[in-house]
Structure 1
Amino acid sequence: MHDNQPQTITPDALPEVITRYLMAHHAHDTPTAVTAFTGDAMVIDDGGTYEGTAAIEGWLDRAATEFTYTIRLTDAQQTDTTHYLATHHLEGNFPGGTIDLRYQFTLRDDLIERLVIEP
């Protein structure tokens, strides 16, 4: 891994904490999903910024109930030991019906310090 060029990896090569977060998020298991984040973590999603455990918990709860959708991991990349990208394909009853979202993870001490979700 050099030049900070993302390398494609298999989804099962993603760090455990990212897999734990994604599986819990897909299962709408907010308590488990929150354990994947640092106490001072930041999530940026859909124009909103959520800082700290309580704000992230609220964001996860809202995301779990706002729409019904299926989500499938379609691509995983690693830039370096702390930066990962997981691309998901969503289909559901949200505006537009389908979208591909890039989940950009920054890790610190084996936890998620920052997550940016964008198309």
Structure 2
Amino acid sequence: MDTTTNTEQLPTTIRAYLAAQEARDADAALALLTPAAVISDVGESFSGEDALRRFVTEAGAEFTFTTEITGVRRDGETWVVRHHLEGDFPGGTADLDYRFVLDGERIERLDIVVG
């Protein structure tokens, strides 16, 4: 498993989702998910359009932070994008792995875990 920071190797769907999430564009992010998609953020799961919309628009909104992609790799059918965050949230820094599973051209599952 090679790790790189080159996001160009990611499927277009994942790059578009990351951009939509950063922009807090819920409509664009939701359009990239399957109808049965599940997002798990450090153990809390979200499914269904309303919960997923809330997650995309509200997760981390109470904090100011920067994020940098520090690694991209493929683990079987899962694409892993490591993010380094720094900001005014508890602890001040975090490394998170965004683990994407696709179903065709859409995201079926996203697990965000401490890296």
TM-score (norm 2): 0.90
Q: CA RMSD in A?
A: 1.4
Q: Percent identity?
A: 37
Shift of 1:76: 0.3
Structure 1 stretches of 4+ moved >2 Å: 6-10
TM-score (norm 1): 0.87
- Structure 2 residue identity aligned to 1:16: T
State the partner residue of 1:74: 70
Q: Does 1:14 align with 2:10?
A: yes
**Where does structure 2 lack aligned partners over 5 or more consecutive residues?**
none
- Structure 2 CA distance for aligned equivalents of residues 48 and 25 of structure 1: 17
Q: How many residues align?
A: 113
Q: Does 1:100 align with 2:102?
A: no
State the partner residue of 1:85: 80
User: Per-residue displacement from partner, 1:7-53 (whole Å, max 9, x unpaired)?
Assistant: 43531100001000001111122211111111110011132110122
Instruction: Evaluate the alpha carbon distance shift between residue 97 and residue 64 of structure 1 in structure 2; reply closer, same or farther with a 3 A threshold.
Output: closer
